[in-house]
A and B are shown apart, each in its own frame.
Chain A
């Protein structure tokens, strides 16, 4: 009875989606490294050879997790968090520098990337902490501690420096939003902040401030009878102005020049298809040349002849776009969207706050990766080097996302046995 119900309670749809994504990944890694001049047989030396091992191991790890008692993750979350934090510190000391980022700990032939596991650990501890506070009304102290849990690994990852991975942690804002720590106003303010951020980079800050002043003036005029709101609007205007100036300062003095260039390229401020914009341009060309139905498996010329850099890792979507076209891309996006919505669905059916919060954490992080990774290959967000979950080549990335997902499935399968 218990054995049967164990398998019955597992969310097989999610596992199916996960497995499909892994397979799509494997085929496209194969296509990305495929050399038409030497169509070699299957080899463990190649990326797709290694990836098949990673997928197999991920499968083992995933099902092992399903067997573990869900309570273990609640109690172990502080320990896991501490271990990962230590690893993040360790990587700064003994890590290997690859491509300007000190993000890897060499373990034999394998390289461990602790920042990938940082997201997992943060999700767990955040869920663990917030779930203890769930009976009270959301308050600023809880938000503060919760934010601290997120910001500590962010700071360490920034030191590597790996801005892309660090940004992924901010996706957890959805968790705070869902739990009521961040209100609609704040979400709107966040949107306003992003809008102002981009405007500040594109337009002279004084022009923006003048426009803001104009808008504020009109607003105050229209609500001139209500003094309380006038003060609020005034404060908002001041805050926006300071923010715009800060963004400009940060852009000029804090961002590294290559990051600045990447932002400039995406904003269209500099047109340089062979310099900083090379990756983006080539990536768009590869995807764009796929047309409606794609060029067919192994037929992509742009990816095959290595015009697109990092095509089996961060730019894996180029291969998909080029060889499978718009139709294939839409199928992939559909699978992702189904997975994300399924995760929200799973989250909402949890009885424990821990499981729900954790589920939202997983959904947020996957969403962020999905959006940023595909977005950068088609030029709607800056080029930030983060992998496409389950699809990009790489053991650390595949395993950490698999563990992230399967812990949720484990919690989900045990939801009846737990009482929240």
Chain B
């Protein structure tokens, strides 16, 4: 598997991986089977209990280091550093979501709605594409569409509903799988609240690289709204099944 990747990347200048047999009918199952085979296999990914990204955001000369930690039990933390000051965004300790208030530099709990919505997503570990079935999510093949200049399969994932201003709203994410190499290059969902309500937020995935024995992950994640205003997170290191001090997730009593 690894050799195929290296050959694909460096000889043809692109990834080929396992392509679909052209005579086979494309279904959600065949797309995901090929995808997981290409990125290291379902079994390997299922063994993950935690991972830690070290990354940076570069905004026109200003570089911000970021660390993201996710655990199978849903505990999570995103931490970034500004001039040596560490700020936490969206940490979850099993009960509460919390973030650092930038002004006071103190921890504040997220709204109960945000916390509830996060709790509903617990189980999407390491990724919803692996666990969607057990979570009761629906995944359908919607058709084909060109994204990023690439012909893609469009998959629609219907997750658990989300609370938006107190009301239950559908929670739908579209995945675009490159038809040539069966990895997602974009996800897309409608923004349900705030100034951009109704527009589509997109996440681009690229720079797939090996993180551990045959397991591949996109090291470049770009968020944008309908193709505009891209902001990229460049991952520099991914560690899996790491020892994590569990107290760091806890909401700090100021």
Say if A and B assemble together.
no
Enumerate chain A interface residues (CB-CB to B < 8 A).
none
Binding site for A on B (CB under 8 A): none
